[in-house]
Every structure is written in C-alpha cells, then in structure tokens.
Amino acid sequence: MNNIKDHLAKGDLKAAQAYCQRINSPISRVIEKGITRIGKPIKDIESAMESAASLELDKVEKNLSFLGLTAGVAPMLGFIGTISGIIKIFYDIAQSNNISIDVIAGGLYVKMITSGAGLIVGVLAYTGYHILNSRIDRFNHKMQATAIDFIDILES
C-alpha cells in the first residue's frame, strides 16, 4: 500500500496500476479496480472494489465445496461398506450353516476396513475443509482491510 500511496500522491495512476498488475494477486486486482475508478464518486469506487473482491473470493473458494462434500460423504460410504460386510457375514453363515470365526472373518474384514477408511477420509477432509475455510476468512478480512486503507488514501 505504501507504493500505491506514493504513486497516487504523485498523481501517477498508470504507475499505480502497473504496480498492481506486476504484483498480480487477488488483493492487487481489487486495488487495481479501485484505481481504474479514481475520479468517480467514492461510493462507485467502493462498489467496484466490493464486486472485484467478491469475484476474487469466489475464485479462492472454487473447489472448497468438494472438500466439504467429501468430508460428509466419506463416513457414509464407510457405513455402506459396513452394511455390505455384515450382509457378507450373514450370507456366508447361510451358505455354510456354520457360525465359526472362519466363516465370519471375511465379512468382518470388509466391515472394519470400509468403516476405518471412511472415517479416516472423513476426518482428514473435515479438518482440511475447516483449515482452508479459516484461511479464506483471514484472507477475506485482509482484502477488506486493504480496500479500506485504499479508500482512506483516496479520502485524505
């Protein structure tokens, strides 16, 4: 922001815009949108920057929903595996007419592996989803703070 402030103080909008393009980050693109609106009312500049920030935030959040979906679906898939393992146990018992550990071991194996895998994937996806979500929230706050700083520079 100090470089942007220096360029704006000199009245060199092109240099400020070029600086934002060189940085090429979501925040610099939001500031660049504000620079292109200089000369218009502050409300118009704020509105353009809010729209740009919203688009940048959408890009950052683009695939986050898939991680959230994985976190929710993985344990259910593990449960489906558990049910299929139990079905296998009862089928094997019915076929052999015997309830020995040898007969039920295969179904128990399927049941335990699918339950464990579903829970592990679910926990990892859930953790990753919330870690990324908190980072996106911090990024959004930083973007808003930078936009406020830019508007303060324009108003001073």
Q: Give the C-alpha separation, 92 to 111, whole Å.
A: 14
pLDDT 10s digits, 107-142:
999 999 999 999 999 999 999 999 999 999 999 999
pTM, two decimal places: 0.78
Q: Where are the domains of the chain?
A: 2-60, 64-138
Alpha carbon distances (Å) from 121 to 40, 69, 71, 101, 132? 51, 11, 7, 29, 16
Alpha carbon distances (Å) from 103 to 37, 90, 106? 75, 9, 7
Mean pLDDT by 10 residues, the chain (156 residues): 90 93 93 94 94 94 93 95 94 91 91 95 96 95 93 88
